[in-house]
Structure 1
Amino acid sequence: MESSIKVGISSCVLGERVRFDSGHKISNFVTKELDEYFSFVPVCPEVGVGMSVPRPTIRLVSNEERIALVETKNPDNDHTDNMLTYSENKVNELQSEQLCGYIVCAKSPTCGMERVKVYSKNNAAKEGIGLYTRTLMEKMPWLPVEEDGRLNDPVLKENFITRIYCLNDFYESMGGEPTRGKIIAFHSRYKLTLMAHHPESYRSLGRLVADVASYEIDDFFNEYRLGLMKALQNRASRKNNTNVLMHLQGYFKRSLTGKEREELATVISDYRTGLLPLLAPLTLIKHYLNTYPDEYLQQQKYLEPYPQEMRLRYGL
């Protein structure tokens, strides 16, 4: 089944042999687990500007004027301007794709998201961002971007997938024609998610939505999208998750029996102290929600931010 959720990706991470040595950096997580959920849009900026495969290695070099992309053994071969022009054009092209995320190749001088080595004349290296990815993140600051290697971390992986599905839900909810009513309804579904990820943004976005009538709708769409995605970049902490679980618990106080209330309180407490994973209280809450339905809670994406078959909350 082909997914409509589009995710940009460095071509080498998909297994395409486009690297300088004719190799690849295939990610099994991407090709074996994510492939059935997302439609990938592969990009290799180096091939995109016409570099050959194989090709001389390149690196970022800093001088007083700028950060340049040059060949390692022959720094007079400067690819900076070509890469910047390509990056601008490619990212402009991708804007029409309605991407919901982007997976980039770590440490690459074009695609790395962080900790990319930038050399100076004395060869001392500092850390920077790949030229292509820097353009991508500047022109699409709302877009969830993550490196292939960091997706081996269960917490970072879960956070990234949460953001992808949230952005896709936002686009689908707007249906290409955002309205104040659609935005208010969407925000209502993500209140608990925002509370778990960043309480300050939960409050500030709530104030923004309350003031939606004073905005041009397209301006509001852009401001809300950026604020939403920046908020979800913050990983949901155990403390914040516990607060959300206790908030959920409050909705059941009149429905549950004494024994059920005690059971839920114990499971939440055991999660708070690290004895149980997040999945334990969430599973119990979903069980009670089936027994004692609540329309508001059933709409909360916090309870199922992505398909449960992805099994990303195991061990969190």
Structure 2
Amino acid sequence: MTVAETSHPASVQRGSDFAKLSRRIAQEGLLDKRPGYYVVRIGLVAALFAGTWALFAAIGDSWWQLPVAVLLAVAFAQVTLLAHDLAHGQIFRSRRTSRIAGLFAGNLAVGLSYGWWMDKHTRHHANPNHEEHDPDVAPDVLLWSERQVEVSRGIPRFIGRWQAFLFFPMLTLEGLNLKVSSFRALRRTSLKGRKTEGLLLSAHVLAYMGAVFLVLPLPKALLFLVVHQACYGIYLGCTFAPNHKGMPVLTSEDELDYLRRQVLTSRNVRGGHFVNTALGGLNFQIEHHLFPSMPTANLRRAQPIVRDYCASLGVDYVECGLLESWGQALRHLHEVGRPLRQVRT
């Protein structure tokens, strides 16, 4: 089952607000596949990925490898964004083809368990920003709501005081965290194709570490790994954080229909073609959450339709610039941590 399937409501009443919007979107052909777009995008990302590794091999033992580590982080992030589109069924009609491609892009190319991440992302799409059901706002380390602050203990409570200031430094560990979580997921019997996932993840680690330590001496190799993984984590965090952080956090007391649940918890990011490319289309987060199987290239065309429709319903439609989106997320984190800063320890 794909993210696209599970994130749509199981049944939509014919006269519901979302059903009316969905019919309009379908009539415009915005749910149709875009093979030409993805051929070009996959080709460019593959060229960036392979070209960066070729540059790494050509430069050899040199401190100039540090800029290459930054470039490789960009390549890894772009591959990860393609894996995201594969999980949503945006590229191929066949689930099997999407899964195979996702395993190669996720597990083998960047060391991210495609099956584990898809399960996690499915739950996020079904209940975005829901503190009881969305794993992206679980209080593992950061605290996202006053209720989480009240019951917090240990590390989250300690970090929560100044989590807004620690957010970006902590993102440097996100790349490593994803790899560790991917290998931990292999212990779950519910993970489909665990052996295949494990083999591909292991192959990635061996090839990745082998290439770095074969070309670079130990000090440079270690620094290359630190720079690469830190930049990869920051890139991913800056891609996903602007979408929901700082938006309303829901609980079981909030009874919203599908359209309002997706729109009110999401934020669009303005910025033109550069931001659209850098964020892999996720800057159109509202449209993506309403229609997760919509090809990235169609999200921009869907935006005015969705925005005008929300205005006609009186549903808040939030969009802002990239820096402002980060600011809203950080201000929310700082405000949530206020009660902890007022408690004497």
| Common fold by TM > 0.5 | no
Structure ranking higher in strand proportion:
1
Select the structure with the greater relative contact order (CA < 8 A; seq sep ≥ 6). 2
Structure ranking higher in helix proportion:
2
Rg: which structure is higher?
1
The normalised TM-score by structure 2 is 0.23
